[in-house]
Chains A and B, each alone.
Chain A
Amino acid sequence: MEIALEKTNSSQIARALVKARSAAGSPAMDMVLTLLVVTDDENVAEALKTATTLSREHPSRVIGVILGDGRGSAQLNAKVRVGESSSGESILLRISGELTKHAESVVLPLLLPDSPVVVWWPGKPPADPSQDAIGQLARRRLTDAEATTSPIRSLKAVATSYSPGDTDLSWTRLTPWRALLAAALDQSPGKVTGGTVTAGVANPAAALLVSWLESRLNVSISAERSETEQIASVVLNTSVGDVVIQRIDAVSCHFSVPGSSPREVPLGARTLAELLAEDLRRLDADDIYADTIRHLLARA
């Protein structure tokens, strides 16, 4: 059921939510978190679709916030949707005029009681996510440096303003690579003496990978440029030979460790929904990410 509200306020939205929920047949709530999606008109449809896909694993109240033109008089329009192919509920807020500076006053009354709040900026993040008015409502703050116009600069910016609970999706994108590298060292326990990461220039995930490897292994890792934007290969020099992981195409890579014959293994890119699902599985601070970005900043 969908209810559209114009020139409204938070309590009317909350009432509409209860109405939609009883109309959907189940007034009980078993949602585990509130997901705030702060975005713009252009990206909102895609972002909300992704967020509602998520609600199958993490039943949540998704609140999309579109901050419109800051000029003119304050206005709040909303759309409330419950049921219909998702197990949570979603609210879309269009905020314009003076109210854009006080969006948190709209969101606060709509948060699920007691449950964790996560905010996701699918595009450009605020200068300091944890100090942002909406960011302050949340326990976890997800940014996406790759979706911005200058990814590396964005990554460094969120790294500089890091506070526990922040993570960038480029870190999440890195998990399969990190898993393969960890598996490689499980199999070949030689001491690592150095290594190389080859990737496109403006790849924040590659920057994090270099930094992660350096901080974990205490060796210097060189970053090489590649033609493609993705991470093309990772080589670790160990005392018993080289560990080499080299991307073949979008879904697989060559994997070779000393002591066993090289082979192909799957290494596919994941959808945004899968990335977010991984992030929402843990709502505490990611210490390893913190170590990694600290090293990233120290390195520069």
Chain B
Amino acid sequence: MTVAANPLRDPRDRRLPRIAGPCSLVMFGVTGDLAKKKLIPAVYDLANRGLLPPGFALVGFARQDFGTESFAKLIKQAAKDGARTPWSETVWKQLAAGIRFVPGEFDDDDAWERLADTMAELDEQQGTGGNHAFYLSIPPGLFPVVVSQIKKHGLAESAQGWRRVVIEKPFGHDLASAEELNRIVGDVFTSESVFRIDHYLGKETVQNILAFRFANGMFEPIWNNHYVDHVQITMAEDIGIGSRAGYYDGIGAARDVIQNHLLQLMALIAMEEPVSFNASSLRLEKQKILANARPAARMDLHTAQAQYLAGWAGGEKVRGYLEEDGVPDGSRAETYAAIRVDVSTRRWAGVPFYLRTGKRLGRRVTEVAVIFKRAPHQPFSKNDIEELGQNALVMRIQPDEGVTLRFGAKVPGTTMEIRDVNMDFAYGGAFVESSPEAYERLILDVLLGDPPLFPQHEEVELAWKILDPVIQHWRRDKTIDTYPSGTWGPASADKMMARDGRTWRRP
């Protein structure tokens, strides 16, 4: 099935979309929130856009108390509620023909035999040709049992076709557990067939960053410690933890977001130009950055962690972290984390990367701000440039993805006064039918076997090596700082910046 063998395909023909070959997606945890809100709608949208192969099958593995009937109803409802493309009964009918339900517990061998039978039946009837992707939309604690059952029942290999497995973050909760997880999964699947998904970081975003950095000539010359003063990477959420106390309390903000999302962003911003954009060269460059990045030596001075307090956020009265449902008394899980990371390479020595994330902050925003050094000499008087800040290049990731350039301009009038202004660019297409939503892109890539932008286990482990010392340092603190909901974080985070003579940008 190589592309070259098909006379209808031509690399110059860029209108033709790539449609995955016949295959099935086997979902574990199909009744969970993520599956209902994101995965199933994404599958429907892909089908509606004609990007799923003819004969695509979806297999749900879930607990006994679901009947096939109510399962089909649940899937349909989820697809209807979450789909962003118009609802079409015809598309649904075609998709529904390939939907199967396997009831059972994860430790029930009979259920796994039924799953194996179902997959064989699909190969026979739907023509899936032995191509199956397993999507583990389940808590990480269940990975070992599911993966070992997949192995035990011989589902991980087949005489024909491919087998792939998709796992979601968190990829472990520290280096040791990540290694353990990699060992379990790696025991059953080869590393090329493991797809780690970070749903915060869509492929479109990564490609936008790569295009911005490497397709242009004017940014690269200043992309180094001669011109860059420091970099701020922020992921802020305005919501609290909601009903996720069970998961969140054991994890905290740093492990939830910094380990995977912010460190991946940092690697993309800091890496050298890959020799090509294939999977391995891209990973290689990211790994070099992650391997050379360390948290600042004085963790007491250059990290901050805090919990949100009750307060008013965006016009609503909200509870503090300790008052949220399911949070144990005296919990010291952080809902805000900020760290300084130093990258020891020739390009970045002396340029700190400040990473911060938190819940219940001012607004929902993810961005990377590259802050430049001031001009070495100012021909203007001190009064003229009082309001002039540092030039900044901001890559806005969400919402409204785009680029902002911040620079000084003269205020109209007879006096010479210079003030900061913004120049904005927005990536269009956020709402059109053809702009792929992150999950659709991810699922399609899995089905096509297109892994370049998924991190592999080396990257995951390197990221833990950066974060683990910080977490260990924080463990020693008996108390934790706090910040009122709806603000931009604790005073300790501001002090951490002030020590370096810098301030956080208000995103």
Q: Give the interface of A toward B (CB within 8 A).
A: 26, 28, 30, 32, 55-59, 87, 172, 175-176, 178-183, 185-187, 189, 192, 213, 216-218, 249, 251-252, 255, 257, 259-261, 263-268, 274, 277-278, 282, 286-288
Contacts and interface: CB of A to CB of B under 8 A. Distances in A.
Given A178-B16, A266-B88, A277 B432 contact: yes
Given A57-B434, A260-B55, A266 B91 contact: yes
B93 A267 contact: no
Given A57-B435, A179-B17, A192-B7, 15 more contacts: A32-B428, A56-B428, A185-B6, A185-B8, A186-B3, A216-B7, A216-B8, A251-B90, A252-B94, A259-B127, A264-B94, A264-B97, A266-B91, A278-B15, A288-B10
B13 interface: yes
Nearest to A271: B433
Interface stretch (B27-35, B311-319, B418-426, B453-461): B418-426
A268 to B, nearest CB: 8
B7 A217 contact: yes
B8 A178 contact: yes
A175 B424 contact: no
Quick one: which of B12, B430, B435 has the most chain A CB within 10 A? Answer: B12
25 contacts: A30-B424, A30-B426, A56-B429, A175-B16, A178-B15, A186-B19, A187-B53, A189-B6, A216-B8, A216-B10, A249-B90, A251-B90, A251-B91, A252-B94, A259-B127, A261-B126, A263-B54, A263-B55, A263-B97, A264-B90, A264-B93, A264-B94, A264-B97, A266-B50, A278-B434
Given A182-B8, A278-B15, A288-B12, A189 B1 contact: yes
Contacts of A183: 19, 53-54
Interface SS of chain A = mixed
Contact of B428 (A59, A251, A257, A259): A59
A8 B382 CA distance: 48
B218 interface: no
A277 B423 CA distance: 26
B12 A87 contact: no
A280 to B, nearest CB: 10
A186 B23 CA distance: 13
Contacts of A251: 88, 90-91
Nearest to A215: B7
B2 to A, nearest CB: 9
A56 to B, nearest CB: 5
Give the 5 A-B CB pairs with smallest separation, nearest first.
Answer: A260-B127, A57-B429, A57-B432, A182-B8, A183-B19
Contact of A277 (B6, B55, B129, B434): B434
Nearest to B429: A57
Contacts of B434: 57, 274, 277-278
A133 B81 CA distance: 50
A167 to B, nearest CB: 10
A32 B125 CA distance: 48
B19 to A, nearest CB: 4
B250 interface: no
A252 B22 contact: no
B153 interface: no
B1 A182 contact: no
Contacts of A288: 10, 12-13, 15
A266 B6 CA distance: 22
A55 B55 CA distance: 35
Contacts of A255: 54
B48 interface: yes
Interface in B369-426: 402, 423-426
